[in-house]
Amino acid sequence: MNASNTNQHDVPLKALSEAFIAKVKAKELRVGIVGLGYVGLPLAEAFVRRELPVLGFDIDQSKVDMLSGGKSYIKHISDDRIASMNSSGKFSSTTDFTELEKVDAILICVPTPLGTHREPDLSYVIATTEKIAQHVQPGQLIILESTTYPGTSEEILQPILESGGLKAGVDFAIAYSPEREDPGNPNFDTSTIPKVVGASSAPEREMASSLYNSIVPTVPVSNLRTAEAVKLTENIFRAVNIALVNELKVVFGAMDIDVWEVIEAAKTKPFGFMPFYPGPGLGGHCIPIDPFYLTWKARAYGLNTRFIELAGEINSSMPGHVVDRLGEAMNEKLGLAMKGAKILVVGLAYKKNVDDMRESPALELIAKLRARGMEVEYYDPYIPVAPSTREHPEVEGMRSVSWTEAALKAFDVALIATDHDDVDYAPLLSSIDLIVDTRNAIKERSDQIVRA
Q: Catalytic residue numbers?
A: 286
Q: What does 108-148 look like in DSSP terms, one character per residue?
A: E-----B-TTS-B--HHHHHHHHHHHTT--TT-EEEE-S--
Q: What does 237-275 look like in DSSP terms, one character per residue?
A: HHHHHHHHHHHHHHHHHHTT--HHHHHHHHTTSSSS---
Bridge partners of 87, per DSSP, are none
Q: Where are the alpha helices (DSSP H) in 150-272?
A: 152, 158-161, 202-213, 224-254, 259-266
Cβ contact 91:56 at 8 Å: yes
**Helix axes of 361-371 and 306-329: crossing angle, nearest 10 degrees:** 50
**Amino acid making up residue 118:** R
CA 213 to CA 14: how far, in whole Å?
A: 19
Helix (H), strand (E), coil (C) string for 63-81: HHHHHHCCCCCCCCCCHHH
For residue 347, give the 3-state DSSP assignment: coil
Cβ contact 396:412 at 8 Å: no
CA 362 to CA 263: how far, in whole Å?
A: 24
CA 84 to CA 173: how far, in whole Å?
A: 32
Closest CA to 375 of 418, 345, 403: 345
Task: Provide the CA 370 distance to its chain's centre, in angstroms.
Answer: 27
**Amino acid making up residue 150:** P
Cβ contact 257:198 at 8 Å: no
For residue 293, give the 3-state DSSP assignment: helix
Residue 134 CB partners (closer than 8 Å, separation 6+) = 97, 164
